[in-house]
C-alpha cells in the first residue's frame, strides 16, 4: 500500500491536458462520454489522497478510482 | 524577538451589501445553535459559498463572534491553539491569556490540557460567544482533532461553534447526529435554488436573464455558486447572452476551466496579468501587489476587482487586506504555471520575499524565498530567526525550513548547523544530532575558525555544554558553559539566557545549590535587560526553590514575595508566576499558617490560568489533603488526595510527582489500607514481602528531595507493619535505612525531608521502646527546625511526637531549643490529641494508648479472604446465617466458621460492629 502504484481516476467533465502538472504529472485523457481519465504512477496512498483532494478542491466530481496491478 | 501572529486570519470577512441574502440557511443555523450543546458543520466543496454564508450569519448575529480562517500552516497544535485563543481574545481579552503565554516557551503544554483550559475559560463567560472556524479541512493533525472533539463534547453553555470544511473531519459525526447535537449544512443545502440563482445573476451581477436561461445555468452548474458567478462574469457586457448560455450549457468542458478562460479573456491585459501574478499571494494588500506587479495603483485595482465580484474577498472593514477565493486562486495558479516560465514565477516570489522582509514579516519572507529557490536569502533569514523561533516552540516550521536548504549550503553555514543542533538539543532528539556536531567541530577547528567571531564561538560552546549535560557529564557541561559566558558578547541575550538556564540545571543536578541560585540570579538580570518577564519569573522562582529545598524558609519567602510583587506591579502574570505563589503557599504551610497557605495555593492555580500545567492544581489538592489529615479529618484528606491523583493521571505533573506519592501513602496508611500503600511504592522499586527490599542507596550518597520523599514513604509503611506484626526485624532494617537517608539528606541540606526522616526514625525507636534515642531524634529535629520556624512537619507525625515533645517540655530536657518554640508546636496539634487524658504509661505502649482512639481505623493484620468478604457483604445486607448458606451454597456451620474468622480479624464481637468496621476500612466492594 505504500509502494508506487499506477492509478486511474475518472472524473465528470472535460479537462484539458494543461492540468497535468497540477495533478502530479498524471496523464489526462478525455473520453467521448464527457468524462476525463487521469492516470499514472503515484508514490503512495498519501500522494493519491493529495490528488483526490485537489480534484475535490476544484469541485470536480469523482466517478471512480482504480489501482492497476503493479505487475502489469 | 516575538514572532507575531498575522491578524488578517482573525478578521471577519464583511458581508457584501449587494450579496444574496439566504435567510433559509442563516435561520437554520440560528435556530439550531440555540439548542444547548449543539454545533454547526458546513461541509461541501469549494465555491458553494460557505464563507459568504458565514459572514452573512456573523453580520446578522446579535452576539459576539470570533472568527478564525485556517490554512495549512495551522495544522500544528503550536500554531493552531495560539490563533484560536487569539480569535477568542478579539472578543474577550481575558480568555486563555496565560495559556497563550505558555506557547511562547519551548516546551509545549500537553494537548488535552488546552481544550480543558479553553472550556474552563469559556464556561466562565458572562456573554455568548460564537466561534467560527473557516476552512477546517486544512487541519489533519490528530491532536487538534481530538482536542476539538473534546471541546464539542463539553461545550460550555455560552459557546456556539460553527465549522466550515471541504472534507468531513474525522470526528464521531454519527454519534453527534444521533444525539441531535449536529446542525449540518451540506452541498445540497448550500446549492443555489432557482430563485436564489435568479437574484444572484440578475440583481447582484446586474444581468437581465430570462427565467429559462437562469434555470439552464442553474442546471449546468448544479447550483454551484462559484460556477454561477464565473458564468455571470463571462456574460457581462456580452450582447449575445442566449448564445453564451447555449454554448456553455451544451459543453462538456470542466466548468471552471471553461469559465475562467472566458472571464480572463474578457479582462484587459493588465488585469489578467495582475490576477495571475498576485494569485501567488495570501493575503493581499495594495502595497504588496504593487511590489509584485510593478503597477502603481494597487489599491484601486483591488477595489475594482472586489466591486466586479472577481472572487476577491475583503478581509477587513477598511478594505486594506484581501484574498482571492481559494478555488479561484487555485485556478489562477494552475494557469500561471502553464502560461509563465518557471523563472518568471520565481521572480514574483522574489519580489514578495523582498516586500515581506522589509515589512519585518520574516517567516513569510522565508516561505517566498523558498518558492523562489533563493537559498542565499533563505539561509540569511533563517540564520536570523531560527533560534528565537525554536524557543517559541515553532520547532516544526524551523525544521521544515532547515530541511529545505540544499546540503552544500548547510555545510558552509556555521549558524545553520548551530540551528540544527539547537533544534535537536532542545527537543531532546539526541539521535539526530551527531552529523551536525561533527560538522561544527570541523568548522570550528578549521583554519578559518578564528575569523568566526566571539558570538559564533560562544554559541558553539553553549551547544557543546548543553550536549554534555544531556549526556550526564555535569562537570564538563559546567566548564563549557563558563567558557561560553566568557566569550559571548553581552548583547547576545538569548544564547546567554539558554546557557544560564542550562548551567542552573546542571548545578542543581550536581547539588551545588549556591551556584545554581547564582545562575538563576543571572537569568533574572539578563531577562530584565531584555524585558522578558517569563524568563524573569523563571529565574526568581528558581532562586526561591533553591532556598526552600534547603529549608531556608525566610530567605525563600523574601525572594518569592519580591518576585510576586514585581510581577503583580508589571501586570504580566507568567506561567512561572504560578510556581512563585505555590512556593509561598508551601512556606506558609511549613509555618502552619494554613489560611495564608490556602490563599496562595489558590492564587497559584488561578495564575496558571488552567495553563495546561497540572502542577499547581495537583499541588493544591495534595497540600489541602495534608492540612485535613493534620486536623484528623481523614475523609477530607482522602477526598483531596484522590482529586490530585485523578488529575495527575490525566495530565502528569512536571515536578511534584513524589509529593503526590508521599501523600497518597500517608492517606492509605491512615485508613489502614496497607496493601494499597505498598502497591503505590511498588513501581518505585520498593517491596514489602518477607524481606523488605528497596532501590540501592549506597551509604554516603546524596539524597535529593524526590528521593527522600519516596524513602520516607517506605519508612512509614515499615513503621506501621512493625507496629502491627510486632515484628522488629523490618524495623531494624528501617532504622538502618533511615540512617543512610538522613545522612544523604543532610549532606545536600534538604532540611524539610531530613526533618521528616528524623521524626520517622524517632517513631521507630518509640515502637522499639528505645526511649532515649526517640527523644534524641526529636531534639535533633527541633534544633534543625527552630531558626526557620517549621511547625507542621511535627504535627503531621501525630501522637508519638506530641507525647515526646510534651515529655521534653515537662522534664526540661530541651537542650538548646527554646521552650516557647516547643509550646508553639504543641499548641498546633489537634485538640482531640491534646484533650486526651495523659495516661502516664510508658512510651513503649504507644500503640495501646492509641488503640482507644484509633481502634476502628487500625488496619487489618490479616486480610479477609475472598469468601469472607462475600459472607460479610451478605451480613451487611441483613441476611441470616441460613440465607447466607443458601446463597453461597455452603453449610450453615461453614457460614458460622467464616463469621467467627471475620469477627476475629476485625477484632469485633457482633455482626453490626463487623459491618461498621468493614465500612470504615472500605473492605466491602460496594464501598469502593
**Of B617 and B927, more confident:** B617
The reply to whether omega before B504 is within 30° of 0 (cis) is no
Residue B3 pLDDT > 80: no
Chain A contacts of B331, Cβ < 8 Å? 58
Where along chain A do its domains lie? 5-67
What local confidence, expressed as pLDDT, does residue B927 receive?
Answer: 45
The answer to whether the CB of B513 falls within 8 A of the CB of B546 is yes
Structure confidence by residue, pLDDT tens digits, B579-611: 899 999 999 999 999 999 999 988 887 776 544
Using CB atoms and an 8 Å cut-off, which of residues 703-762 of chain B contact chain A?
A: none
Chain B contacts of A54, Cβ < 8 Å? 330
Q: How many CB atoms lie within 10 A of CB B202?
A: 16
d(CA B291, CA B34): 47
Asked if A22 has any chain B CB less than 8 Å from its own CB, the reply is yes
What local confidence, expressed as pLDDT, does residue B146 receive?
Answer: 87
* Burial (Cβ within 10 Å: 0-12, 13-18, ≥19) of residue B97: middle
Residue B244 pLDDT > 50: yes
CATH of domain A5-67: 3.30.70
Asked if A13 has any chain B CB less than 8 Å from its own CB, the reply is yes
Tell me which chain A residue has its CA closest to the CA of residue B46.
A57
What's the pLDDT band for B572 if we cut at 50, 70, 90?
Answer: confident
Structure confidence by residue, pLDDT tens digits, B436-470: 999 999 999 988 888 889 999 999 999 999 999 88
Using CB atoms and an 8 Å cut-off, which of residues 273-332 of chain B contact chain A?
A: 326-327, 330-331
Q: How many CB atoms lie within 10 A of CB B683?
A: 8
What local confidence, expressed as pLDDT, does residue B837 receive?
Answer: 46
Nearest chain A Cα distance for residue B338, angstroms: 7
Hey, CA dihedral for B237, B238, B239, B245, is it positive or negative?
Answer: negative
Mean of pLDDT values over B553-563? 95
**Residue B703, φ and ψ in degrees, nearest 5:** -120, 110
What mean pLDDT, rounded, does chain B reach? 85
Asked if A71 has any chain B CB less than 8 Å from its own CB, the reply is no
Structure confidence by residue, pLDDT tens digits, B673-732: 888 999 999 999 998 877 788 888 877 788 888 899 999 999 999 888 887 776 677 788
Inspect the interface and report whether the beta carbons of B338 and A16 lie closer than 8 Å.
no
Asked if B646 has any chain A CB less than 8 Å from its own CB, the reply is no
The answer to whether the CB of B828 falls within 8 A of the CB of B592 is yes
Structure confidence by residue, pLDDT tens digits, B501-516: 889 988 988 888 889 9
Mean of pLDDT values over B306-318? 82
In the three-class reduction of DSSP (H, G, I as helix; E, B as strand; rest coil), residue B193 is classed as: coil
Q: Which residue has the cell 460550555?
A: B156
Nearest chain B Cα distance for residue A20, angstroms: 10
* Mutation for testing the B interface, residue in A58, A61, A63 having most B CBs under 10 Å: A58
Asked if A19 has any chain B CB less than 8 Å from its own CB, the reply is yes
Asked if B256 has any chain A CB less than 8 Å from its own CB, the reply is yes
In the three-class reduction of DSSP (H, G, I as helix; E, B as strand; rest coil), residue B712 is classed as: helix
Residues 6+ away with beta carbon under 8 Å from B848: B841
* Mutation for testing the A interface, residue in B231, B248, B254 having most A CBs under 10 Å: B254
The residues with which A12 forms a beta bridge, in sequence order, are: A35
Inspect the interface and report whether the beta carbons of B338 and A18 lie closer than 8 Å.
yes
Asked if B178 has any chain A CB less than 8 Å from its own CB, the reply is no
Chain A contacts of B230, Cβ < 8 Å? none
Nearest chain A Cα distance for residue B8, angstroms: 23
* Mutation for testing the B interface, residue in A21, A57, A62 having most B CBs under 10 Å: A57
What's the pLDDT band for B190 if we cut at 50, 70, 90?
Answer: very high
Asked if B255 has any chain A CB less than 8 Å from its own CB, the reply is yes
Asked if B257 has any chain A CB less than 8 Å from its own CB, the reply is yes
Q: Who among B45, B252, B334 is closest to A59 (CB)?
A: B45
Q: How many CB atoms lie within 10 A of CB A3?
A: 8
Chain B contacts of A58, Cβ < 8 Å? 46, 254, 256, 327, 330-331
Q: Which range is least confidently modeled, B111-120, B302-311, B520-529?
A: B111-120
Strands (E), B290-428: 312-314, 322-324
What local confidence, expressed as pLDDT, does residue B845 receive?
Answer: 30
What local confidence, expressed as pLDDT, does residue B102 receive?
Answer: 53
Using CB atoms and an 8 Å cut-off, which of residues 123-152 of chain B contact chain A?
A: none
Residue B817 pLDDT > 60: yes
What local confidence, expressed as pLDDT, does residue B14 receive?
Answer: 83
* Mutation for testing the A interface, residue in B136, B256, B257 having most A CBs under 10 Å: B257
Nearest chain B Cα distance for residue A4, angstroms: 23
Chain A contacts of B255, Cβ < 8 Å? 13, 59
What local confidence, expressed as pLDDT, does residue B726 receive?
Answer: 66
d(CA B56, CA B196): 15
* Burial (Cβ within 10 Å: 0-12, 13-18, ≥19) of residue B100: buried
d(CA B707, CA B710): 5
Structure confidence by residue, pLDDT tens digits, B29-88: 999 998 888 999 999 888 899 999 999 999 998 889 999 999 888 888 878 888 888 888
Between A and B, how many residue pairs show a Cβ–Cβ distance under 8 A? 51
What local confidence, expressed as pLDDT, does residue B402 receive?
Answer: 93
Nearest chain B Cα distance for residue A5, angstroms: 24
As given in the structure block, the three cell numbers for residue A12 are: 465528470
What local confidence, expressed as pLDDT, does residue B290 receive?
Answer: 94
The answer to whether the CB of B664 falls within 8 A of the CB of B641 is yes
Chain B contacts of A52, Cβ < 8 Å? none
Residue B841 pLDDT > 60: no
Using CB atoms and an 8 Å cut-off, which of residues 23-42 of chain A contact chain B?
A: 34, 36
Residue B836 pLDDT > 60: no
Q: Who among B167, B224, B334 is closest to A19 (CB)?
A: B334
Q: Who among A15, A54, A56 is closest to B254 (CB)?
A: A15
Residue B854 pLDDT > 60: no
Residues 6+ away with beta carbon under 8 Å from A49: none
Distance of CA A65 to the CA centre of its chain: 8
Amino acid at each position: 500500500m505504500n509502494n508506487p502504484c499506477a492509478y486511474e481516476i475518472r472524473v465528470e467533465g472535460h479537462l484539458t491536458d494543461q492540468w497535468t502538472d497540477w495533478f502530479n504529472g498524471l496523464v489526462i485523457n478525455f473520453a467521448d462520454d464527457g468524462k476525463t481519465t487521469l492516470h499514472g504512477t503515484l508514490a503512495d496512498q498519501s500522494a493519491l489522497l493529495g490528488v483526490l483532494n485537489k480534484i475535490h478542491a476544484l469541485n470536480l466530481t469523482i466517478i471512480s478510482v482504480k489501482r492497476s496491478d503493479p505487475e502489469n | 524577538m516575538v514572532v507575531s501572529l498575522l491578524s488578517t486570519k482573525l478578521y471577519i470577512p464583511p458581508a457584501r451589501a449587494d450579496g444574496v441574502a439566504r435567510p433559509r440557511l442563516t435561520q437554520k443555523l440560528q435556530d439550531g445553535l440555540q439548542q444547548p450543546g449543539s454545533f454547526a458543520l458546513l461541509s461541501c466543496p469549494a465555491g458553494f459559498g460557505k464563507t459568504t454564508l458565514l459572514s452573512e450569519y456573523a453580520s446578522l448575529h446579535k452576539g459576539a463572534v470570533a472568527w478564525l480562517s485556517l490554512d495549512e500552516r495551522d495544522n500544528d497544535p503550536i500554531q493552531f491553539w495560539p490563533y484560536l485563543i487569539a480569535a477568542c481574545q478579539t472578543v474577550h481579552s481575558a480568555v486563555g491569556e496565560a495559556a497563550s503565554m505558555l506557547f511562547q516557551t519551548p516546551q509545549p503544554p500537553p494537548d488535552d490540557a488546552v481544550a480543558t483550559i479553553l472550556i474552563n475559560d469559556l464556561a466562565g463567560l458572562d456573554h455568548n460567544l460564537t466561534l467560527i472556524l473557516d476552512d477546517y479541512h486544512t487541519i489533519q493533525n490528530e491532536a487538534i482533532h481530538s482536542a476539538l472533539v473534546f471541546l464539542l463534547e463539553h461545550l460550555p453553555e455560552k459557546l456556539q461553534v460553527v465549522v466550515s470544511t471541504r472534507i468531513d473531519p474525522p470526528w464521531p459525526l454519527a454519534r453527534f447526529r444521533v444525539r441531535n447535537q449536529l446542525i449540518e449544512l451540506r452541498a445540497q443545502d448550500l446549492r443555489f435554488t432557482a430563485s436564489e440563482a435568479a437574484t444572484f445573476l440578475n440583481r447582484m451581477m446586474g444581468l437581465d436573464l430570462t427565467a429559462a436561461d437562469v434555470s439552464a445555468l442553474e442546471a449546468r452548474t448544479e447550483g454551484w455558486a462559484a460556477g454561477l458567478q464565473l458564468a455571470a462574469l463571462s456574460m457581462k457586457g456580452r450582447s449575445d447572452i442566449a448564445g453564451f448560455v447555449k454554448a456553455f450549457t451544451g459543453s462538456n468542458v470542466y466548468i471552471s476551466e471553461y469559465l475562467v478562460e472566458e472571464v480572463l479573456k474578457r479582462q484587459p491585459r493588465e488585469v489578467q496579468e495582475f490576477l495571475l501574478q498576485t494569485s501567488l499571494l495570501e493575503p493581499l494588500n495594495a502595497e504588496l501587489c504593487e511590489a509584485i506587479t510593478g503597477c502603481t495603483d494597487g489599491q484601486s485595482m483591488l477595489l475594482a476587482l472586489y466591486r466586479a465580484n472577481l472572487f476577491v474577498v475583503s478581509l477587513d472593514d477598511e478594505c486594506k487586506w484581501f484574498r482571492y477565493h481559494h478555488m479561484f486562486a487555485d485556478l489562477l495558479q494552475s494557469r500561471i504555471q502553464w502560461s509563465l516560465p518557471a523563472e518568471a514565477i520565481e521572480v514574483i516570489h522574489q519580489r514578495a520575499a523582498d516586500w515581506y522582509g522589509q515589512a519585518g514579516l520574516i517567516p513569510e519572507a522565508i516561505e517566498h524565498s523558498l518558492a523562489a529557490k533563493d537559498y542565499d536569502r533563505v539561509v540569511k533569514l533563517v540564520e536570523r530567526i531560527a533560534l528565537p523561533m525554536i524557543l517559541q516552540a515553532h520547532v516544526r516550521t524551523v525544521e521544515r525550513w532547515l530541511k529545505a536548504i540544499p546540503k552544500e549550503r548547510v555545510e558552509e553555514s556555521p549558524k545553520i548547523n548551530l540551528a540544527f543542533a539547537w533544534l535537536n538539543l532542545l527537543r531532546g532528539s539526541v539521535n539526530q544530532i551527531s552529523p551536525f556536531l561533527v560538522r561544527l567541530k570541523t568548522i570550528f577547528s578549521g583554519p578559518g575558525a578564528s575569523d568566526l567571531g566571539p558570538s559564533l564561538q560562544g554559541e558553539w560552546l553553549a551547544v557543546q555544554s548543553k550536549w554534555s549535560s544531556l549526556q550526564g557529564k555535569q562537570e564538563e557541561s559546567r566548564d563549557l558553559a563558563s567558557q561560553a559566558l566568557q566569550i559571548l558578547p553581552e548583547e547576545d541575550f538569548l544564547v546567554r539566557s539558554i546557557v544560564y538556564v542550562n548551567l542552573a540545571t546542571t548545578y542543581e543536578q550536581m547539588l551545588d545549590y549556591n551556584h545554581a541560585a547564582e545562575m538563576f540570579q543571572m537569568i533574572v538580570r539578563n531577562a530584565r535587560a531584555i524585558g522578558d518577564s517569563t524568563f524573569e519569573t523563571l529565574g526568581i522562582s528558581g532562586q526561591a526553590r533553591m532556598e526552600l529545598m534547603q529549608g531556608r524558609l525566610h530567605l525563600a519567602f523574601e525572594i518569592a514575595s519580591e518576585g510576586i510583587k514585581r510581577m503583580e506591579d508589571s501586570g504580566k502574570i507568567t506561567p512561572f508566576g504560578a510556581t512563585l505563589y505555590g512556593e509561598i503557599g508551601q512556606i506558609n504551610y511549613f509555618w502552619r499558617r494554613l489560611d495564608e497557605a490556602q490563599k496562595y495555593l489558590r492564587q497559584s492555580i488561578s495564575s496558571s490560568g488552567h495553563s495546561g500545567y497540572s502542577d499547581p492544581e495537583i499541588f493544591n489538592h495534595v497540600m489541602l489533603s495534608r492540612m485535613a489529615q493534620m486536623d484528623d479529618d481523614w475523609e477530607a484528606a482522602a477526598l483531596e488526595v484522590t482529586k490530585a491523583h485523578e488529575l495527575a493521571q490525566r495530565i502528569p505533573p512536571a515536578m511534584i510527582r513524589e509529593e503526590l506519592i508521599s501523600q497518597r501513602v500517608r492517606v492509605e496508611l491512615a485508613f489502614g489500607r496497607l496493601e494499597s500503600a505498598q502497591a503505590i511504592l511498588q513501581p518505585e522499586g520498593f517491596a514489602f514481602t518477607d524481606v523488605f527490599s528497596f532501590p540501592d542507596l549506597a551509604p554516603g550518597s546524596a539524597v535529593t528531595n524526590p528521593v527522600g520523599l519516596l524513602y520516607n514513604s517506605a519508612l512509614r509503611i515499615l513503621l506501621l507493619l512493625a507496629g502491627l506484626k510486632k515484628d522488629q526485624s523490618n524495623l531494624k532494617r528501617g532504622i538502618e535505612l533511615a540512617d543512610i537517608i538522613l545522612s544523604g539528606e543532610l549532606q545536600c541540606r534538604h532540611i524539610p525531608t531530613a526533618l521528616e526522616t528524623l521524626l520517622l526514625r524517632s517513631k521507630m525507636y518509640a515502637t522499639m521502646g528505645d526511649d532515649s534515642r526517640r527523644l534524641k531524634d526529636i531534639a535533633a529535629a527541633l534544633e534543625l527546625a527552630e531558626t526557620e520556624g517549621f511547625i507542621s512537619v511535627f504535627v503531621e507525625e501525630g501522637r508519638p511526637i506530641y507525647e515526646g515533645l510534651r515529655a521534653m517540655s515537662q522534664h526540661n530536657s530541651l537542650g538548646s531549643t527554646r521552650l516557647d518554640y516547643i509550646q508553639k508546636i504543641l499548641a498546633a496539634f489537634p485538640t482531640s490529641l491534646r484533650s486526651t487524658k495523659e495516661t502516664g504509661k510508658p512510651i513503649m505502649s504507644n500503640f495501646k494508648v492509641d488503640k482507644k482512639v484509633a481502634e476502628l481505623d487500625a488496619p487489618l493484620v490479616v486480610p479477609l479472604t475472598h469468601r469472607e468478604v462475600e459472607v460479610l457483604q451478605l451480613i451487611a445486607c441483613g441476611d441470616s446465617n441460613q440465607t447466607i448458606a443458601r446463597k453461597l451454597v455452603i453449610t450453615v456451620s461453614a457460614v458460622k466458621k467464616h463469621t467467627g474468622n471475620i469477627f476475629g480479624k476485625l477484632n469485633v464481637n457482633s455482626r453490626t460492629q463487623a459491618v461498621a468496621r468493614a465500612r470504615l476500612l472500605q473492605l466491602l466492594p460496594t464501598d469502593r
